[in-house]
Amino acid sequence: SKPAGKLSTFLDSGVYRFEDSTAVFIDPVRVLNRSYTRFRVSPSAYYSRSFKSKIQEPRVCSNSRKRKRKEKKPQNLNDRERAADQRHQEARPFLLKAHKSLLRSTELLEVVSNLRDDFDNSASSPGTTQSLVELGRVWQAPLYEITLNSQSHDNASEDGGSPVMEYCKQRAVPVFNNLVVNETSEDVEAELLGSRYILPPESSFYMSDLGQIHNLIPESDCGFNLIVVDPPWENGSARQKLRYSTLPNRYFLSLPIKQLCHTNGALVALWVTNREKLRGFVEKELFPAWGVEYAATFFWLKVKADGSLIGDLDLFHHRPYECLLLGLCPGEDTDDNSRPKPIPDNQIMLTIPGDYSRKPPVARFLQEYSPTLQRNRCVELFAREMTAGCVSWGNEPLHFQESGNFTRG
């Protein structure tokens, strides 16, 4: 199609497919906004980190040149470092090609440089966010309720006579250790201890500690055909320690992935860090323990508003990309109709990153590779946000749903 066509598809969908590679550029704000009916995710809230850092956060480290030099590939690699380097060298041509495609797409680059200011006329600010993790730990947690305010239409008089009635329905339900569902096809505003949250249509969340995750296991055969997992992996980053607590790897071995899968099978998508030790653990222990067969690796390449990479591609300890490992949980009664389409390896997704550790919304994107069901059923584990049509589980799945991240559409 003509470039103008590609660009207008991007402006609509948030996904730009490059002609000359399998890479895609994603604007998470546009992708997320396809979920909402009355509200809009605010670009300035989503992109606050990347755009702010340019002006307001000068590097704390005064000898950054020295640090950079240190991060280049060490000269004498040990076995693990050599394996990591080999993985990087194998991915490198795909990453470079994808980045070149972006740099060549001048029409897209122009839009990208303005993503933060897009249709954002009422500059909202996220304000102080309520710590849901702390709230869940106090003794009163089982008593806390969230109030859902949904607007319903009374379609009883659709004969063109009297106007459609709109009224507000309110209901309060326990917010922790409970599946809270917005079963309507409209956004719902919810209130919890004075903070407001926006729940997209046909979405639900279960906010609990890992110890309660078995409550997500479906009773009958209606499991999930897409399972996205973003575990709180341990790593040395002090910044991460401030954001959320982490768990040792053995905790993830007992995640009930097999029990969450649909009987037709499921696509499992796992976010991993670039630590070689972790990659070995996933391949040799975690996927086998979950009953997942490895299928492909996708890469999330992070760029700045000017299209450049957020860091040197070859920095040894700070790669400007993260990996999404894809695997399949085979179904018990897979027939030809539900067999998924083959997953291409080395697909690259480029985005400008949002808040710390916030992953781009991949559920909709991955749906085409999951065993097809009449109705897609997707669950996200360790989620910090909600998606239309998905169940979000974690100890803070409402985090990015706070109303300060939205404007009225």
Q: Which residues bind ligand SAM (CB under 6 A)?
A: 133, 209-210, 230, 232, 244-245, 247, 357-359, 382-384, 394-396
End-to-end CA distance of the chain: 30
Q: Taking the complex as a whole, how short is the minimal distance between the CB of residue 357 and ligand SAM, in angstroms?
A: 5
User: Which residue, 265 or 394, has its beta carbon nearer to ligand SAM?
Assistant: 394
Q: In angstroms, what is the minimal distance from the CB of 384 to ligand SAM?
A: 4
Nearer to ligand SAM, 133 or 313 (CB): 133
Q: Quickly count: other Cβ atoms within 10 Å of residue 391's Cβ.
A: 22
Residues β-bridged to residue 190: 148, 197
Taking the least distance from each CB to ligand SAM, the nearer of 189 and 230 is: 230
Q: Least distance (Å) from ligand SAM to the CB of residue 266?
A: 18
To the nearest whole angstrom, how small is the minimum distance from the Cβ of residue 131 to ligand SAM?
10
Q: How far apart are CA 61 and CA 359, in angstroms?
A: 26
Residue 120's CB: how many other CB atoms inside 10 A?
19
What is the residue type of 95?
L
Minimum Å distance from CB 230 to ligand SAM? 3
Distance CA 181, CA 127 (A): 26
CB 201 within 8 A of CB 186: yes
Give the C-alpha separation, 215 to 223, whole Å. 12
Paired residues of 15 in beta bridges: 26
Q: Which phi and psi angles does 254 have, rounded to 5°?
A: -95, 10
Closest distance to ligand SAM from the beta carbon of 402 (Å): 13
Q: How far is the CB of 240 from ligand SAM (least distance, A)?
A: 8
Instruction: Rank residues 244 and 316 by Cβ distance to ligand SAM and give the closer one.
Output: 244
Alpha-carbon distance values, 255 to 154, 259, 287, 326, 335 (Å): 43, 9, 11, 16, 27
Tokens of 49: 């980190």
Minimum separation from the CB atom of position 363 to ligand SAM (A): 11
Nearest Cα neighbor of 27 from 306, 267, 349 is 349
Shorter beta-carbon distance to ligand SAM: residue 83 or 179: 179
Q: How far is the CB of 32 from ligand SAM (least distance, A)?
A: 11
Q: Minimal distance in Å, beta carbon 366 to ligand SAM?
A: 14
Task: Return the ∠ at Cα 102 (arms to 64 and 32), rounded to 5°.
Answer: 90
Tell me, letter by letter, the H, E, C secondary structure of 148-194.
EEEEEEEHHHCCCCCCCEEEEEEEEEECECCEEEECCCCCEEEEECC
- Which CB, 48 or 357, lies closer to ligand SAM? 357
In the bound state with ligand SAM, the residue whose beta carbon lies nearer, of 189 and 396, is 396
What lies within 8 Å, CB to CB, of 364 at 6+ separation is 31, 34, 387
CB closer to ligand SAM out of 265 and 327: 327
**Residue 207, strand partner residues:** 176, 394
Rounded Cα distance between 86 and 80, Å, is: 10
Q: Which is nearer to ligand SAM, 265 or 361 (CB)?
A: 361
C-beta of 51 vs 382, nearer to ligand SAM: 382
